[in-house]
Each structure stands twice: as structure tokens, then as C-alpha cells.
Structure 1
Amino acid sequence: MTDGDDTRRTSVDTIQRELTAFARRARAAAARLHPELPLVSYTLLAHIVDQQGCRATDLAAHYLLDKSTVSRQIAALEKLGLVERRPDPEDHRVQVLHPTAAGSHLLAATQASRQAAYQERLKDWSAEDLARFAGYLLRYNAAGAAGLPGTAPSPAPRATATEA
């Protein structure tokens, strides 16, 4: 084993530990912003808003989640009055999920809060450091999605749905 191997192993260990800490903080922050809206539900709601409506099967494929997981999360979002099902105008047998006004409002408020937190945490970073970090995150997420059917990296990084 070379010094380069040791450095690489140490770096990968650090990345794994820090990404785990990041995911835990993201879940905790989501819980503080809306105690009834876990990170997975928040992520699904954000995708529904971004797509201006989508099917539950689209969510499952995009986030590599079990259909039953998506079904539970959507049921919770419906119970909270944040999403609603509407028939697809092209095929009335298909139900499309859409955000309600309350869902759109909650998401906008939550995103503003999250954006402010990121701005505060990153305020001392140079524009070059931010661009490099964003590029690394895009590259990392694209590598994770490479070769998986029905997946593509998101155009803008969001919290990932790592737990249900």
C-alpha cells in the first residue's frame, strides 16, 4: 500500500462520515421546519412542484424508491393537505399529483428558510470555492445515477431522499 492509497482511503472515509453527518443535519432541519414533513416527503413535494405535477411512479423511478414508500409518503402529504390527485387530461385512468396552494406555500417558505441557512453557512466561501463545490456535488450525484435505469441527475442539487 502506498501513501497515495492511504491518503485516498482516509479521504473517502472522511467524505463518507461528513456526508452522513450532512444527511442527518438535513433530516433534523427538515423536522424543525415542519415536524410532520420528513425529509423524504419534503423532497417528493419539491419534485412535484418542480415538475408541475407528476405520477407517483415517476417519483419512485426518479428517487429509486419503492412504490410502497412513495405511496406512504404521498398519503401523508395528502393528509396534510399539501398535494392532491387529479386525473391526467390525456388519460383519465392515470392520477397526477399536484401541489395544493398550501403545499406550494409551505415549500416556498421552507426553501427560503433553507436558502438562508445555506447562505449563512457559506457566506465566507469565495465564488470560486462555491462553484467548485457545486461542481463536485453534481459530479458525485451524476456518478451515483450513472447506469441506473430511469435515473438522471437533477438539474439543481436538492436534498436526497435517503430514508423513508
Structure 2
Amino acid sequence: MQAAAVETAEALETIQREMTAFARRARASAGRMHPELSLVSYTLLGHLEESGGCRATDLAAHYALDKSTVSRQVAALERAGLIGRRPDPEDHRVQVLHLTDAGRRILAQVTESRRAAFRERLAGWDAADLERFAEYLTRYNAAG
């Protein structure tokens, strides 16, 4: 194998290993930031806030999740009083999910905790490294 191919294979292996560690850490830290709010729940609440509300099927499609997974998460978030349902103004047969006031408060608390954790973890990085890292993450996620 050529040296460049070996280096590429090693880099890809390192990326895979580090992304796996990142995902595990993100799931574990979500529970510490708010015990009842899983990482999936947090991301669903975030999307509902960004979108101003949407259908459960839209959430499933956006995150490429199985509808049953989203259904369970939505049910739990409803039981916790973090989201509610409203009829879609354009089609009253359809229910649109939206954040409740309690959902907005919890999302804001968890978001601030996550930002603080990122600030702490990245405190020693210079601005150029942060900008490059942000660019690489954006590029990586856009490809997926």
C-alpha cells in the first residue's frame, strides 16, 4: 500500500474512533445536564424551537429516525409537559408539535449548560483553531 493510502486509512480510523468517543460523551453528558432529557429529546426540542413547530413525521425525516422512535420520544416529552399538540392551520387533520413554556425553559437551561461545557473544553484553543473546527464540523454534517 502506498504511504498516502496508509496515512488516509489511519486518519479515517482515528476520525471514526474519535467521533464514536464524542457521541458517547455527548449522550452521557446530556443525562448529567438534565436527568429526564436524553440527547435525542434535547435535539427534538431544539428542532421544534428552530422550526416553530412541526409534525412528528417531520422530526423523523429530519433526523433520519424511525417513526416509532420519534413517537416514543414525543410521548415522553408530552407526559413531561415539555411539548404540546395543535391542529395544523392548513390541515386540521394533522397535529403540529410545539414547545410549551416549560419546554422552552428546560431547553434554554440545557442549552446554556452545554455551551458552558463547550466553552470549558475549548478554552485553550485559539480563535483560528475554533473557526477551523467549526468549519470542518459544518462541512462534515452537510455531507451527511
**Fold conserved (TM > 0.5)?**
yes
Q: Quick one: which amino acid aligns to residue 121 of structure 2? A: R
Residue 62 (structure 2) aligns with: 62
| Alignment-derived partner of residue 78 in structure 1 | 78
The AA in structure 2 aligned to 1:112 is E
RMSD between aligned residues = 0.8
Residues of 2 paired with 1:143 and 1:51: CA distance?
Answer: 21
Match of 1:8 in 2: 8
Report the Cα distance in structure 2 between the residues aligned to 1:47 and 1:91, rounded to whole angstroms: 21
Aligned counterpart, 1:42: 42
2:104 counterpart residue number: 104
Q: CA deviation at 1:135?
A: 0.8
Distance 1:80 1:25 in 2: 25
Q: 2:94 aligned with 1:94, yes or no?
A: yes
2:135 and 2:57 map into 1 onto residues whose CA distance is: 29
Higher relative contact order (CA 8 A, sep 6+): 1
Aligned residue for 2:96, secondary structure, equals strand
Give the aligned partner of residue 121 of structure 1.
121
Q: Determine which structure has the larger helix proportion and give its number.
A: 2
TM-score (norm 2): 0.97
CA distance in 2, matches of 1:36, 1:21: 22
Q: Provide TM-score, normalisation by structure 1.
A: 0.85
Q: Hey, what's the Cα distance between the residues in 1 that align with 2:108 and 2:37?
A: 14
Which blocks of at least 5 consecutive residues in structure 1 are unaligned? 145-164
Runs ≥4 in structure 1, deviation > 3 angstroms? none
Between the two proteins, the alignment pairs up a number of residues equal to 144
Q: Which runs of 5+ in 2 are unaligned?
A: none
In structure 1, distance between residues paired with 2:79 and 2:34: 14
Whole-Å Cα distance in 2 between the matches of residues 134 and 72 of structure 1?
32
